[in-house]
């Protein structure tokens, strides 16, 4: 089991920046960790993922070039730096973790993860 706690959400104007943080109860080197978001009436979307063992990062096309995921192995934290935000980035953002699995990408594992935090709301105004 992994407990995850997010922080850092809030309201920001389009074009601005926001940084989300996630504190994990433990790090597992076999895991992929990341962030997914869900807006009302929309499906869950994995936006960023990182392999704990290698540090390799992955992004959804919708956020590539704007969002950056990073981890701190000592503090067991996971951050999501969100730049040039758009109104369509408005959603509840969740930190997630899942064991890496052969045949599935990190983002797919994040998309289907059952380990997640309570979420933090991000609202982008135009």
pLDDT confidence of residue 72: 94
Name beta bridge partners: 12: 124
pLDDT confidence of residue 84: 98
Top-confidence residue, 10 or 29: 10
pLDDT over 90 percentage in the chain: 89
pLDDT classification of 27: cutoffs 50, 70, 90:
confident
Q: Where are the beta strands (DSSP E) in 28-86?
A: 31-38, 45-51, 57-59, 67-72, 77-82
Top-confidence residue, 7 or 1: 7
Element (H, E) at 95: strand 91-99
Instruction: Express each pLDDT in 51-110 by its tens digit.
Output: 999 999 999 999 999 999 999 999 999 999 999 999 999 999 999 999 998 889 999 999
Euclidean distance between CA atoms 47 and 37, whole angstroms: 7
Name the CA dihedral angle for 71, 74, 77, 81, rounded to a multiple of 10 degrees. Answer: -40
The rounded mean pLDDT for the chain is 95
Euclidean distance between CA atoms 26 and 70, whole angstroms: 16
Task: Measure the CA angle with vertex 18, ends 55 and 32; round to 5°.
Answer: 25
pLDDT confidence of residue 1: 83
DSSP per position, 1-22: ---EEEE--EEEETT--EEEEE
């Amino acid at each position: 089991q992994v407990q995850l706690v997010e922080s850092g959400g809030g309201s920001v104007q389009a074009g601005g920046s926001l940084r989300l943080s996630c504190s994990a109860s433990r790090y597992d080197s076999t895991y992929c960790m990341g962030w997914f978001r869900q807006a009302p009436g929309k499906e869950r979307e994995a936006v960023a993922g990182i392999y704990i063992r290698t540090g390799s990062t992955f992004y959804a096309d919708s956020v590539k070039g704007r969002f950056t995921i990073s981890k701190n192995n000592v503090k067991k934290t996971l951050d999501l730096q969100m730049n040039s935000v758009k109104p369509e980035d408005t959603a509840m953002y969740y930190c997630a973790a899942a064991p890496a699995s052969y045949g599935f990408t990190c983002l797919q594992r994040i998309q289907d993860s059952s380990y997640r935090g309570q979420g933090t709301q991000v609202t982008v105004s135009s």
